[in-house]
Amino acid sequence: MAKAKSSSVKKKVVSKSSSSAAKPKSSPAKQTAKKKSDIKKSVAKTQVSAKTTKVKQIEQPVKKQVSKINQRIHSDAKEILKELFQKALAIHRQGQLVEAKELCQKMISLDPNCFDAFHFLGIIALQEKKLDVAAQMIGIAIQKNPNVPQAHNNLGVILRSMRRYELALESVSKAIALNSQYAEAFNNQGVLYLDLGKNDLAQSSFASAIKIRPDYDDAKKNYEAILQIQTKN
C-alpha cells in the first residue's frame, strides 16, 4: 500500500511540472481594469489630437492677419516716404537746403535703405560744394540700389570736380552700361576723355550724345570744340 501512494505522488508532481509553461488566465477583474486603461489611453490620444487640430486652426487665421498687417505697414511706410520725398523736392526748389536735408534724414530714420534720401543728400552736398560728403552720400545710395544710372552719372560729376578723372570715367561708363540712351552720360564721358587727353574717344562720346539727342547744345559745343582741337593738331 505504501508503494502505491508513493507512485501516485510522483505522478502529481510530474503533472504540475509539465503544466508550468502554460500562462495562467488573468482574473475577470484584471481584464476589466486593462480594458479601462486602454480606453483611457485612447481617449487621451484623441483629446491631444483634437487640441493640436484646434491650435492649427487658430494659428492659420492669425498668421494671415499678421501678414495682412505687415503688408499694410509696408504700404503705409512707402506712402509716407513718398510724401516726405515730394516735400523735400518742393522745399529744395525754394532754396531751403537745410529743411530738405532734415526731411531726408527723417526718410532714412523710417527706412535705412532709402535710396532716394541718400542720393538727394548727395546732390544737396554737391550744391553746398561739400564734395567729400556728396561722394559719400551718393556712394551709399549706389550701395542701396546699384541699378540707377543717374546715380552713377552724378557720382562721376562729383569725382571729376575732385579731379579723380579715372574713377569719374568708370562711374559715367557704368551709367551708360545701365542705359545706352543716356545722352548726358555720354557727354560727361566725352569731357572726361578730353581731361585724360583721349581726344578720339571724346569725339566719339560727344557724337553718341548728339545722335541720341540732336538738340543737345552742350554736346554739340563740345563736339565742335574737339574738332577745332584736332584741326589745329
pLDDT score at 143: 97
pLDDT tens digits along 27-76? 655 555 555 566 555 555 556 565 555 555 555 665 665 565 556 656 77
Q: What mean pLDDT is predicted for residues 147-173? A: 97
Fold agreement (55-130, 146-233): yes
More confidently predicted of 168 and 52: 168
- E strands present in the chain: none
Q: What mean pLDDT is predicted for residues 184-204? A: 96
The one-letter amino acid code at 207 reads A
Q: Do residues 164 and 132 lie in contact, with contact meaning Cβ atoms separated by under 8 Å?
A: no
Residue 3: which pLDDT band, with cuts at 50, 70 and 90? very low
pLDDT score at 5: 44
Which triple of cell numbers denotes residue 177? Answer: 552700361
Q: Where are the domains of the chain?
A: 55-130, 146-233
Q: Does residue 21 register a pLDDT over 50?
A: no
Q: What mean pLDDT is predicted for residues 87-106? A: 93
What's the CATH code, domain 146-233? 1.25.40.10
Q: Does residue 23 register a pLDDT over 90?
A: no
Of 77-81, 91-95, 171-175, which has the strongest mean pLDDT? 171-175
Q: Domain 55-130, what fold?
A: 1.25.40
More confidently predicted of 137 and 41: 137
pTM greater than 0.75: no
* Low-confidence winner among 88-92, 149-153, 173-177, 183-187 (lowest mean pLDDT): 88-92
The one-letter amino acid code at 111 reads D
**pLDDT above 90 coverage of the chain, percent:** 62
